[in-house]
Amino acid sequence: MAFWLIKSEPDAFSWDEQVANVVEPWTGVRNHQAKKNLAAMQVGDRAFFYHSNVQRAIVGVVEVVRAAYPDPTAESGAWVCVDVKAVAPMPTPVTLAQIKAEPALEELALVRQSRLSVCPVSADHWQMLCQMGGWKEGR
């Protein structure tokens, strides 16, 4: 299993909408590096759901339930999307400020490449962020 972080502006698509929809295609990604990350996702991978702009925090965990396929919202180009399913909310949201304050997370893509909307997360970073948010992996 690989780990990821996916960003959404809560006024465009929020964690609450993800939960209500249960399974949602992660469409609209128009950055080539983020596209490569989407294409690398496999069924069963887990991702942090991150609210960007307003809240700037990890607010939930999703699971990839369909690997990359052509993004139906793309007007041109070979853009892809994946389907993700809500697993559970993060018990305590982990803010960007908390993440940046932790020296062990300085290499996290969220910190190094702040504009990237789909980022890989190492297993060590995943465990640390889960601990910070009170997430128990057995959910």
| Both tokens assigned to 67 | 């690997």
Q: Residue 138 has what pLDDT?
A: 55
Fold of 3-132: ph1033 like fold (3.10.590)
User: If you compute the radius of gyration of the chain from its CA atoms, what whole number of angstroms results?
Assistant: 14
Domain limits, the chain: 3-132
Q: Residue 92 has what pLDDT?
A: 97
Full strand arrangement of the beta sheet holding 46-51:
23-25, 80-95, 57-70, 46-51, 3-8, 118-121
* Banded model confidence at residue 57, pLDDT cuts 50, 70, 90: very high
For 90-117, write each residue's pLDDT tens digit. 999 999 999 999 999 999 999 999 889 9
For 17-35, write each residue's pLDDT tens digit. 999 999 999 999 999 999 9
